[in-house]
Structure 1
């Protein structure tokens, strides 16, 4: 279970998402009632947009959700490179396309998240959902194809990786019946 600490900000009569957020992660099976959270993540939301001066519409835009585990003050563990990362997406009016996994609509992208001890707690689903919700600003844009590469996942997390995408109704042409690509 993920809880967003703090509230959404009211700005000019509309709701907006704060640039910095703290996500409180509770044990998925025990829930919030079980007591203390099992982790906290600092989340920074960075959105950019280039405006087409001819008509005032968005020409290009991007979103990056940067995350980092917050360790207790006196924790002696070092922050590993896997304890931070980002989810990205982009839009291009020129190509009339959005990417849910890349910061360029013409390049390949990927989603990686490997927070020690937090696998299966729906953090990736939460972050990917934020990118998908952002991309819905352009409902008629083509969604760039996502390619799964066998080397992008380990034997133990391929099923979880596939489930992440499938819960968003993204269909893949798998090479085998076990969906292990």
Structure 2
């Protein structure tokens, strides 16, 4: 891969909340990400209202009551892939250190990711656990049993050379 920058225009981010009352799963297939392979910096940006849920009411509650996507339309991540060698092995497992910002709150994260070279593209996959309270998302006591305190977030990005 000779490009200095690679881009994923339709990255995928999904989250899953498990409780005894109800499972909540949502997917967003419109996530933008770019990596500068010169310094291994990565940036991710996603619109919160692009998450698709099984039930329309879940989507409505997510956007209006929890993440307040009219006030906080985006979530972002900026970080650095540690010790990644673009000319190295076909598959590498690396840590990404960075800052995730959602709902007006930022938290430092350390995320394990698998990086694979597939054809002329890079594919990054991984997951992390997110604590809802860290991002000041208020859940009414009546619904607290329906939403997990910790939510699993999965991601998959397929990067291609970026033409400026």
Bucket of the pairwise TM-score, normalised by the shorter protein: 0.3 to 0.5
TM-score (norm 1): 0.31
Higher relative contact order (CA 8 A, sep 6+): 2
Which protein is bigger by CA-based radius of gyration? 1
Higher strand proportion:
2
